[in-house]
Each structure stands twice: as C-alpha cells, then as structure tokens.
Amino acid sequence: MISPQLICANWNSGSSDCETTGKYGCKNCRLVTYCSPGCQRSHWPQHRASCKSPLGKETWQPAWSIEGRTPSFMGDGPGAVFGDKKYLWGNVPAFDVLQLDRNEGTEYTDPMSILFAASGDLRHVVKTIAELPSSFSRPIEITLNDRDFDIVARNAILLLLALVVDDADTAVDCMIHLWYSALIRESDLEVLQQQVRPLINEVCLKTAARPPNTLLAKTWTFGERSLRIVLQKSAWNQLLQFLDVPSGLDAQRAQRIRQNITLAESRRDYRDRYLCLMSPVHRIAFHKFREDGLLVPFGYPRSEFQVPNPTLFNTGSTTWPMPDNADPRHSWPAEEVERTPSGTATADLYGKLFFYLRSTISSFLSRLRHVNTSFKLLHMDATSLPDHLEPESFSRIDVSNISDGGWLGIHRTLLYMIPLLQPPIKNPHATLITLFMNAIDETITTTDQTRDFMVSSQKVLQYLPPKQKPTSQHDPQLIKFYMATDLVTDYEYAFKRYSERLEFQEAAALINAEIKNPHTIIKRWPGRLTLLPGQLGAQEEFDRCLGGGLSGKERYVEWRRTG
C-alpha cells in the first residue's frame, strides 16, 4: 500500500504520469488533492459525481421536506436503534485514563495497573499508552474485560498485531483497517494468517482434548511486553474464526449485507436528520463512508480493498454486526481529529480521522517498544472480576456505563469495583471512573423539559439564527434547532436529583469510598460546550459538537477510596 499521506486522487497502481503526492486541492469540495492540474482534469469524470453531489449544496433538503410528509423518526426519539446491537466501536471519545501530570506526576516510580472492566474496544488503551510521557519507564499492567466475545476477540487480534508485526507502518495500517474498515486488503489478511493465526492455532491444537468449558490461559512474551488471554476452550476455537473470511463471502456480498443496514431505505429519514446537522461538504464524506465503509482518505483508490473484514464478518454472519449509526468518528476526540492536517482536503472528515489514527497508533506502538507493558484479556461478566483479580491492586478502573441503571447500576458497580481499587495509603490518586449515559433521560420530567427549552432556545438562537420562516413543524431548520438544545442545556440539576435519589454519597460511604472533587481524569460533562456564544471559536465548537456523537447528557463521575 502506497502511503496515503496527501495522495493524488488520480493515482492508481498503473499510473505512469502521476507524481503520487497531492499538492493541490479541489476548491469546490475540499475533499481530494492532486499532484498537478493535469491529474485533476484527468480525474474529473470520476470526481464529478461527488464534487457536484446535491448533498454538498446549501440548498439540499431531506426527503421528508421535499415530499411534504412527516419524517419516520417522529415519536421514536434520537436513540432508536436499527441493526444489530453490538458496540464494536466506541460511542464516547477516547481519553487518557492516567493523566499522570494531574495525578501521580510524570516522574512517578511505582508500577501502574489499569482495569477496563467493560472495555469495549481498545481506544482508551491506545490513547493512554500513546500519551505516556517520555520520562515514564515503570511497568504498566492493563487488564481488559468484556462480556461480548466479539469485542474480546477483536481486542486480542489487534493487540497481537501490535506486538508481533515488526514493521510499524504495516502494523498501523493493518490495525486501522481491521478495526474500522468493512473490507481489508489481501496484505492485511496475509498478516493475520501468517503472524497471528499460528499463535492462536497452537493453543487450540494443544488443548484439543480438553472439555469445551475448561478455562485456559496463554501468555505470549515479546521482550518486555506480554499478552495473556484467558478464555474457555470453546472460545479459543471461536477466536480462530475471526481470522478467516467465511466461505462464499466475497466483497460484493459483504457490502450488500452492510448496506442493508447502513443505507436501509426505511432509515433514510434518520440519515437525513443527521445530515441536517452537518455542513454541506461534510455530508458528502459521511455518505461515502456509509456507502463503502472504508476508513481511508476520500481520494484514495479503493481497488485494493477486496477482502471482507473477518473480524466483522465472521463465520455465520448474515448481517452487519452494529447499529446503522455506528461511526468511528464518535470514538475519538472531535477537536483533535479536526486539527489533524489533511493538506488542502480540509473537508475530508474520514481522511482526517485516518491521519489522526495513524499518528495516535504510531505513538502507541512507539511507547510500547520502550515501556514494560503487560496486557491481560478476560471474557466474563464484570460481577465475576473480583473472583479472578487481586483486591486493592488497580491504579485506575474504568467501567464505561455499566453504572447506568439498565446495566449493573451504581450500587453494584461500587460494590464490585471499589475493593479492587488501590487504597489511599498505597496510591492517593487511584480512581474509579463511571459513566452515566441514560441518567438524564431517566430523570427529567415534562415540566423540566418545557422549562429547559424556554432557556435553551434563546441560547441556540445565538448559534442558529433563522434563515427563513419554517414551512412546517417538521422543517429541517426546526429539527436541527430542537436537536441543538441539549448541547446548551445545563443538566447538572437533573444529575444532582438522580444522584440524591440513588444516594450516591451514602452508598459510597458504606464501602469506604467517596466522589472525587474535583475530577482529575475526565471532564464531568464531556459533551458540554466550553465557549460562550460570540467568543472566538464558539461557533466552530458548536458546529463540531452538533455533528458529533455526544448528546450533551453524558456524565462522568470519578470515585476514590477513603480507607
């Protein structure tokens, strides 16, 4: 694979006149770069459809508005799910769970131990390791657990790639595509088959006679780095299936399976609603990813990507495993991604994400080579972890949103996790991180919503002044306006009511714990606007958050032991 850094959109493997490197951009769409005016002219027949797409025009209107009908999402709410319910990509941005400079300090000399009790994908791990200060040289142990085997399997494969592939560029690109692309290259499959599969297959062969439910552990050591995976024997056999493309599944059929979800006609109004929140040129990039599911720059040739991603289409797959609105952009800090250079292709949302991931994963691999790092992967319910892990051993514990009422709830989360956290005598900075994604919606009343809207609507008007009189109650301007109100609403009162009803403080005190104040790891409200209307950068922040993946209702709470 040629390096896609600012590649000419007219390049292909048979190019003779193309100079490969993109220097000039398409001034109309700002999605692609070219090495010369000649290549731009030559590529115009292919680029015309995207560049002149109706989605890229200020005058674009959603189908329900053009047809004068009620949109199909009315009454469902923004959280209606379509497609499978696996969350193989993160739905809140990655963050560094250590934040050493605000906690133990960059010169901290003791080993660090982190538990991701309901890990989801590897984004927090990658972000945390990538941001370790250069002065940090102590051992670090990272335990990842998830009850969804697909997540555990993909994490195992990605970590093995990070540890066994010697060439950093090969490892980075292979990891990106296995993580996020619906189709991969033949070279990616070769890496899986030649460098990862033999390691797992050896375990399966040696344990072939063991009963299916036998718990088996395997540790691989690579210099000062190691990976330990603990699975039932049947799960080890299942892990092999994530390395093989299912028989009879080709790229065309895989894309049809995926597009039946991501481009379902019954979900057109839902897609159009999201497109209403985006700038015109960003809509084009969004639609292209919905079409082909390849995480590469917009102008990069797709011809290499002919192999269904076996970690997404494993044996028996007849459907796309995620909801239709799953988007890799939601897994990473939007402002950091937006700042990532992409040459003159400044509107290439997914190209920027690709370059951001290249940089971040490269830093992750570089730090791995210089830090004594041990990974441990488990596959069990989070409530079983205390039976398998050492008490009082973790510097950080992140539980994602299993603290929400629909999962474990905060009381059981504290009961199972606090005993695993290091006490203050050992590490006064040890922190349990909980996320609440549903607390606000479960708490606010109709009266609250009416009052909040009266206040929030005045704030939204400062960001979205009306361009014309709405044509109906379903006018796209109004839909966008309503969806923006959560971003500017202060929901602290509602979370206070929620935490008092569930007696957060009292429950924590019973097990010698308390809420940390102030937070030192992650902002309480990760989706809240930080700038006021009229301040420098405020409109850009508003637009970025409105087209992002956070609703503004997500709330983190940090906890520590008191004894």
Q: What's the pLDDT tens digit per position in 375-394?
A: 999 999 999 999 999 999 99
- Residue 155 is predicted with a pLDDT of 99
% of the chain at pLDDT higher than 70: 97
| Distances, alpha carbon 449 to alpha carbons 40, 44, 327, 495, in Å | 52, 50, 28, 14
* Alpha-carbon gap, residue 13 to 2, rounded angstroms: 9
Looking at 12-26, 187-201, 283-297, 476-490, which range is the least confident one? 12-26
Q: Is 119 within a domain?
A: no
- Residue 75 is predicted with a pLDDT of 74
pLDDT digits (tens, 9 = 90+) for 491-504: 999 999 999 999 99
Alpha-helical (H) ranges within 181-248 are: 186-191, 197-206, 233-241
User: Which of 336, 356, 372 is the endpoint of a domain?
Assistant: 372
- Residue 2 is predicted with a pLDDT of 40
Same domain, residue pair 1 and 80:
no
Same domain, residue pair 181 and 313:
yes
Task: Tell whether the model's pLDDT for residue 448 goes beyond 50.
Answer: yes
Q: What's the predicted TM-score (pTM) here?
A: 0.96
Q: Is 181 within a domain?
A: yes
Same domain, residue pair 245 and 264:
yes
Same domain, residue pair 277 and 203:
yes
Q: Is 217 within a domain?
A: no
Question: For the residues 106-112, what does the mean pLDDT come to?
Answer: 90
Domain membership of residue 306 as a residue range: 57-92+154-207+231-372
pLDDT digits (tens, 9 = 90+) for 52-62: 999 999 999 99
Q: Is 117 within a domain?
A: no
Same domain, residue pair 16 and 29:
yes
Number of domains in the chain: 3
What is the average pLDDT value for the chain, to the nearest integer? 95
**Residue 541 burial by Cβ neighbours in a 10 Å radius (0-12, 13-18, 19+):** middle
Confidence of residue 142 (pLDDT cuts 50, 70, 90): very high
Q: Is 399 within a domain?
A: no
Same domain, residue pair 243 and 348:
yes
Q: Is 348 within a domain?
A: yes
* Alpha-carbon gap, residue 546 to 483, rounded angstroms: 8
Angle at 51 between CA 60 and CA 471, to 5 degrees: 5
Place of tokens 């956070």: 550
Same domain, residue pair 364 and 484:
no
pLDDT digits (tens, 9 = 90+) for 312-331: 998 666 789 999 999 999 99
Angle at 179 between CA 20 and CA 255, to 5 degrees: 80
3-state secondary structure of 305: strand
- Residue 45 is predicted with a pLDDT of 94
- Residue 468 is predicted with a pLDDT of 87
pLDDT digits (tens, 9 = 90+) for 168-225: 999 999 999 999 999 999 999 999 999 999 999 999 999 999 999 999 999 999 999 9
Q: Is 518 within a domain?
A: yes
**Using the 8-state DSSP alphabet, how is residue 53 labeled?**
-
Same domain, residue pair 182 and 245:
yes
Same domain, residue pair 354 and 487:
no
Confidence of residue 3 (pLDDT cuts 50, 70, 90): very low
- Residue 76 is predicted with a pLDDT of 65
Same domain, residue pair 352 and 465:
no
- Name the phi and psi angles at 275, rounded to 5: -60, -30
User: Which of 354, 372, 390 is the endpoint of a domain?
Assistant: 372
- Cα of 394 vs its chain's centroid, Å: 24
Task: Tell whether the model's pLDDT for residue 78 goes beyond 60.
Answer: no
Q: Is 42 within a domain?
A: yes
| Distances, alpha carbon 150 to alpha carbons 313, 321, 431, in Å | 11, 9, 28
Same domain, residue pair 524 and 511:
yes
pLDDT digits (tens, 9 = 90+) for 550-560: 999 999 999 99
CA-derived radius of gyration, the chain:
24
pLDDT digits (tens, 9 = 90+) for 216-251: 999 999 999 999 999 999 999 999 999 999 999 999
Same domain, residue pair 294 and 342:
yes
- Residue 1 is predicted with a pLDDT of 40
User: Which of 324, 345, 372 is the endpoint of a domain?
Assistant: 372
